[in-house]
Amino acid sequence: MFEIEIRTKKGFKNSHGEHVLSDISGIGIKGITEVEYFPLYVIDGGITSAEVGTIALELLSDKITETYICRYKEQSVGKSLKTESSAGIDVSETAACADSAILPHSAFFVIEVWYKKGVTDTVSESVIKAVKDLGIEKEIKVKTGHKYYLYGKVSQAVLNDIATKLLANTLVQEYVAQ
């Protein structure tokens, strides 16, 4: 199973992150100084890391403004929410990173948001179709998620507040905040 994180290259605005930052201060939470947002894709199936690279580069990212990080994970997509610590973005040996210069700076929190099992994920449906159109004729499963890096200092309770009040609708989504 591969997890692909699409990152904004240095020098380009992370505009969704900026929106989230203004929303955070809008609900009266102080202590967060910067937010970066990156979409996540989990792809499972008999797929090679070379193919994942093609998918990330040709399909999921914008070559001019974005780059990607790709991690190999043992878990399968069936396990709906990752419980392991993925916050430590200490990119492991199995991870391939297109541009190491864009790794986030220190002192941050990570909130990941995923759809709950059974909720229709239309973006993943489109990805599955588009992967076939790329010429990769394999049966794959795809899950999409959102990853937010928050810089600053807040308590875990406040972090959970940010997650539930702004980033995840717990009716259809679940989240990990740490």
119 binds other proteins (CB under 8 A): yes
Min dist. Cβ of residue 166 to other proteins (A) = 7
The two structure tokens encoding residue 137: 């004729």
27: contact with other proteins by CB under 8 A? yes
Phi, psi of 87 (to 5 degrees): -70, -40
Smallest gap from residue 56 Cβ to other proteins (A): 21
User: Which segment (37-45, 82-90, 111-119, 147-155) binds other proteins by CB under 8 A?
Assistant: 111-119
**From the CB of 97, what's the least distance to other proteins, in Å?**
31
**Binding other proteins by CB under 8 A: which of 118, 135, 155, 157?**
118
Mapping DSSP onto H, E and C, the string for the chain reads CEEEEEEECCCCCCHHHHHHHHHHHHCCCCCEEEEEEEEEEEEEECCCHHHHHHHHHHHHCCCCCEEEEEEECCCCCCCCCCCCCCCCCCCCCCCEECCHHHCCCCCEEEEEEEECCCCCCHHHHHHHHHHHHCCCCCCEEEEEEEEEEEEECCCHHHHHHHHHHHHCCCCCEEEEEC
Residue 27 Cβ, how far from other proteins at the closest point, in Å? 6
Residue range at the interface with other proteins (CB under 8 A); choices 68-76, 88-96, 138-146, 166-174: 166-174
- Nearest alpha carbon to residue 105 among 39, 152, 158: 152
- Provide the minimum distance between the beta carbon of 34 and other proteins in the complex, in angstroms, as a whole number: 19
Q: Is 157 in the site for other proteins (CB under 8 A)?
A: no
Q: Among 23-31, 34-42, 47-55, 91-99, which window interacts with other proteins (CB under 8 A)?
A: 23-31
The footprint of other proteins on this chain (CB under 8 A) covers a number of residues equal to: 17
Q: Could you list the residues that contact other proteins (CB under 8 A)?
A: 22, 26-28, 116, 118-122, 125-126, 165-166, 169, 171-172
